Amino acid sequence: MNLIIFSEKDVIANTASTVRIQLGGRQLDHLLSVHKAEPNSILRVGQLNGKLGQGRVVSINEQAAMLDVTLHQAPPTPLPLTLVLALPRPKMMRRIINSISMLGVKDLYLIHSYRVDKSYWSTPFLQPEALHEQLLLGLEQSIDTQLPNIHLRKRFKPFVEDELPLLCSNKRAMVAHPYNAQPCPPSSLEESILAIGPEGGFIPYEIDKLQEAGMQTIEIGQRILRVETAVTALLSRLFPVI
């Protein structure tokens, strides 16, 4: 937790220059056990979907911490990217959602694909609260406040036919696929959309449909990477900052 993120519900008073917040739960535990926070300790604080700043501890005990917060700094620039990801295996889901949030992706489509087991759609890790938790952990790690948007698309064909062409228009549109692909394009801050398949990859029919929607196949090397690692490796290659 490199950043304490508060939201509206934590605010107990508001003046022109400072916000007074009250924290409990996981954040209080962290303040006590890791920061050994005491009155007047200064901590890095951010407002969910708002600015970064610092908080001064007013009081702290086993029940609650009260902080006076001033906010003055914009959060890091989001990646100019829409990420389209075949729904990962439940076992990998939490880490991947967390990573994507940490890396500064703000728009994520989780889609169905032939090699995605239908049962994956009923995992509890896809519940809004479970997703929110992992997104928040990613933001806390990378000192960001802007919550990503996650869109669930349980049917491949309607998504690629009806939505994807519009999402691809005026963007650098790519699907990571190691066969008959172009080398990864040079790093740029151009608006982009990138699709990444499931373990085992997209099937040829799906690649055809993604290409019809406007995506070009790209590859970064001959190694077959785990999905989470592939996401990081591709984003690091495609964008000059992470």
Which parts of this chain interact with its own copies (CB under 8 A)? 2, 76, 99, 102-104, 141-144, 220-226, 229, 232-237, 241-242
20 vs 95, which CB is nearer to its own copies? 95
Interatomic CA distance for residues 45 and 70, integer angstroms: 8
Task: Give the shortest CB-180-to-its own copies separation in angstroms.
Answer: 17
163 vs 219, which CB is nearer to its own copies? 219
Tokens representing residue 104 in the block: 């500064």
Task: Give the shortest CB-228-to-its own copies separation in angstroms.
Answer: 8
Task: Give the shortest CB-45-to-its own copies separation in angstroms.
Answer: 15
58 vs 233, which CB is nearer to its own copies? 233
Q: How far is CA 4 from the centre of its chain?
A: 17
Task: Give the shortest CB-103-to-its own copies separation in angstroms.
Answer: 7
Among candidates 159, 219, 209, which has minimal Cα distance to 183? Answer: 219
60 HSE (CA, 13 A, CB side): 22
Task: Give the shortest CB-50-to-its own copies separation in angstroms.
Answer: 18
94 vs 237, which CB is nearer to its own copies? 237
Pairing of strands 19-23, 42-47: unpaired
2 vs 188, which CB is nearer to its own copies? 2
Provide φ and ψ at 126, rounded to 5°.
-95, -5
**CB distance 27 to 133 below 8 Å:** no
